[in-house]
Amino acid sequence: MDPASALESAHQLLNDAILYHEGEPVGTAAALDNSVAAENYEECFVRDFVPSALVFLMEGKPEIVRNFLCLILELRNQQSVMAGHERAPGLMPASFKVPKKSDASATPSADFGDRAIGRVAPVDSAMWWMLLLRSYVLTTGDLALAHSDDFQDGMRETLELYLQESFETSPAMLVPDASFMIDRRMGVYGHPLEIQALFYGMLSTAQELLISNDENKRLLRISKKRLQTLRSYVRIYFWLDLERLNEIHRYKSEEFGTGAVNLLNIYPESIPGWIDGWLSPGSGYMLGNLGPGRIDFRFFSFGNLLAILFGLTTEQQAEQIMNLYEYRWKALFGLAPLKICYPAVSGDKWAFTTGSDPKNVPWSYHNGGNWPCLIWAFVGAAIRTGRSELARKALDITLDRAPDDNWPEYYDGKWGSLIGRRSNHGQVWSAAGVIIAHQLLENPDSLPVFESINFQ
Ligand code: GLC
């Protein structure tokens, strides 16, 4: 398909996916595919709507984004008791369903993970909501919405919940497995990078959008402190390049007391074999996860790209991540965009990490599949680091592939050449991601949607 027709097909899918409530557009369905495996793909997922919303903002159609932001705020009151356990306000839904047209009086119903496969809590939703609010305010100038009582209450409740001390021993946020885009068991419990990037983005946003008054003083102070400590911690301890790898390789362990260098008691024996020779001089990345005695060396694309976009990495680290993409292009970008994580886990490790999940077999879905929806973050991060040529190459590959394959949700295979065995077609965030990527390259005026957060 030529690029113009490809973009037209993306727009068509996005527009067809718009969901209406009481005659107003309020979101987009996750996929338009009559044969989808799970019925909740008809629903609007908060994380999936973000790329759709960025397109609407870039194209001067902010109403749907405003309606969505207001609706999510309302829906957070629908939180149900799960297994007898009543949860704190501040969590926002993973997705919501709009009632059928014939049932106009009914209200949309939200899912807080209580209906979702695996019953996972969507920790990322409230953070995406706040980040989207920031993009909305930046593009429309409608600060009044963020400053309204309801929105200030919503932000406060979320910050109270997310800043509550639990059992963390570092500034990084502690979460259960599957609490974000990777919403199935994948060994991403603890302190996954994507959550840290979103947390950092949300805390920075709070500094901009919470009104500085007596009521908010304490939250503003602790969120500022946390974002500073989180940033230093991630920049130092999540970072891996050749120098750091050598350090870890020769780490002393069992260090007791305050002068320890190997703070988390990482045993060098836990370094996986594949990493030797995998990094080039001048490249590096943020590790997937970090906890006591544990480094997850897997490379997770979205976390790394969001860390660049939100300014959680240093500029040099951002460049080194892009160098790694260039150096390991086939492995990390592949024949269809974009590896979600590398490498896949297999054998006993797969059984143990995923609970023997047939959807997450090696090099498929969350376990090393390729996801076109990540293209917007890749192109945004590449442009931010001055690597437009990589951004262009990435978009060309995507335009060559995804529209002809009818916008799959994901691809399978080590190099990503196969349409995912259980993948939906008509996956809306695959199409929205391509439109954003194209806009960012063609029209730099559209950049304010993620004008970088540079909070000191
Ligand atoms: C899958 C993905 C999740 C996404 C949802 C809807 O569950 O893992 O990230 O939000 O599909 O597309």
Q: Is residue 117 part of a domain?
A: yes
Looking at the 3D structure of the chain, how many domains does it have? 1
Does the CB atom of residue 48 touch ligand 1 within 6 A? yes
pLDDT given for residue 228 in this prediction: 97
Q: What is the band of 36 on the pLDDT scale with cuts at 50, 70, 90?
A: low
Does the CB atom of residue 58 touch ligand 1 within 6 A? no
Q: What is the mean pLDDT of residues 180-201?
A: 97
Nearest to 20 by CA among 98, 93, 76, 110: 98
Higher pLDDT, 114 or 209: 209
> What distance in angstroms lies between residue 380's CA and the mean position of ligand 1's atoms?
21
Q: Is residue 455 part of a domain?
A: no
Protein residue with its CA nearest to atom 2 in ligand 1: 181
Nearest to 201 by CA among 453, 26, 11, 17: 453
Task: State the closest ligand 1 atom to the C-alpha of 47, by its place in the atom list counted from 1.
Answer: 10
Task: State the closest ligand 1 atom to the C-alpha of 41, by its place in the atom list counted from 1.
Answer: 6
Q: How many degrees, rounded to 5, is the angle at CA 332 between CA 331 and CA 334? A: 65
Can you give the three-state secondary structure of the chain, one letter per residue?
CCHHHHHHHHHHHHHHCEEEECCEEEEECCECCCCCCCHHHHCEEHHHHHHHHHHHHHCCCCHHHHHHHHHHHHHHHHCCCECCECCCECECCCEEECCCHHHCCCCCEEECCCCCCCCCCCHHHHHHHHHHHHHHHHHHCCHHHHHCHHHHHHHHHHHHHHHCCCCCCCCCCCECCCCCCCCCCCCCCECCHHHHHHHHHHHHHHHHHCCCCHHHHHHHHHHHHHHHHHHHHHHHHHEEEHHHHHHHHCCCCCCCCCCCCCCCCCCHHHCCHHHCCCCCCCCEEECCEEECCEEECCEEHHHHHHHHHCCCCCHHHHHHHHHHHHHCHHHHCCCCCCECEECCCCHHHHHHHHCCCHHHCCCECCEECECHHHHHHHHHHHHHCCCHHHHHHHHHHHHHHCCCCCCCCCEECCCCCEECCCCCCCEHHHHHHHHHHHHHHHCHHHHHHHCCCCCC
> What distance in angstroms lies between residue 387's CA and the mean position of ligand 1's atoms?
29
Whether the predicted pLDDT of 104 surpasses 70: no
Q: What is the mean pLDDT of residues 52-75?
A: 96
Q: Is residue 218 part of a domain?
A: yes
Higher pLDDT, 179 or 449: 179
Q: What is the mean pLDDT of residues 341-354?
A: 98
Q: Is residue 187 part of a domain?
A: yes
The letter for the amino acid at 449 is V
Q: How far apart are CA 272 and CA 362, in angstroms?
A: 17
Q: Is residue 401 part of a domain?
A: yes
> What distance in angstroms lies between residue 341's CA and the mean position of ligand 1's atoms?
15
pLDDT given for residue 148 in this prediction: 98
| pLDDT tens column, 200-210 | 999 999 999 99
Q: Is residue 456 part of a domain?
A: no
| pLDDT tens column, 416-456 | 999 999 999 999 999 999 999 999 999 877 766 666 555 44
pLDDT given for residue 34 in this prediction: 81
pLDDT given for residue 85 in this prediction: 73
**Residue 324 half-sphere exposure, CB side, CA atoms within 13 Å?**
25
> What distance in angstroms lies between residue 201's CA and the mean position of ligand 1's atoms?
21
Task: State the closest ligand 1 atom to the C-alpha of 31, by its place in the atom list counted from 1.
Answer: 12
Protein residue with its CA nearest to atom 9 in ligand 1: 181
> What distance in angstroms lies between residue 161's CA and the mean position of ligand 1's atoms?
24
Does the CB atom of residue 319 touch ligand 1 within 6 A? no
Task: State the closest ligand 1 atom to the C-alpha of 182, by its place in the atom list counted from 1.
Answer: 8
**CATH code where residue 149 lies:** 1.50.10.10
> What distance in angstroms lies between residue 55's CA and the mean position of ligand 1's atoms?
19
Task: State the closest ligand 1 atom to the C-alpha of 30, by its place in the atom list counted from 1.
Answer: 12
Of all residues in the chain, what percent carry a pLDDT higher than 70? 95
Q: What is the mean pLDDT of residues 250-277?
A: 95
Protein residue with its CA nearest to atom 3 in ligand 1: 181
Q: Is residue 345 part of a domain?
A: yes
pLDDT given for residue 448 in this prediction: 62
Choose one of 39, 125, 183 to mutate for the ligand 1 pocket test, by most ligand atoms within 8 angstroms of C-beta: 183
Q: What is the mean pLDDT of residues 85-100?
A: 88
Protein residue with its CA nearest to atom 4 in ligand 1: 181
Q: What rounded mean pLDDT belongs to the chain?
A: 93
What domain range is 317 assigned to? 3-450
Q: What is the band of 183 on the pLDDT scale with cuts at 50, 70, 90?
A: very high
Choose one of 19, 40, 46, 47 to mutate for the ligand 1 pocket test, by most ligand atoms within 8 angstroms of C-beta: 47
Does the CB atom of residue 181 touch ligand 1 within 6 A? yes
> What distance in angstroms lies between residue 269's CA and the mean position of ligand 1's atoms?
35
Least-confidence region, from 106-120, 269-283, 313-327, 343-357: 106-120
Q: Is residue 299 part of a domain?
A: yes
91, β-bridge pairs: 89
| pLDDT tens column, 396-422 | 999 999 999 999 999 999 999 999 999
| pLDDT tens column, 348-377 | 999 999 999 999 999 999 999 999 999 999
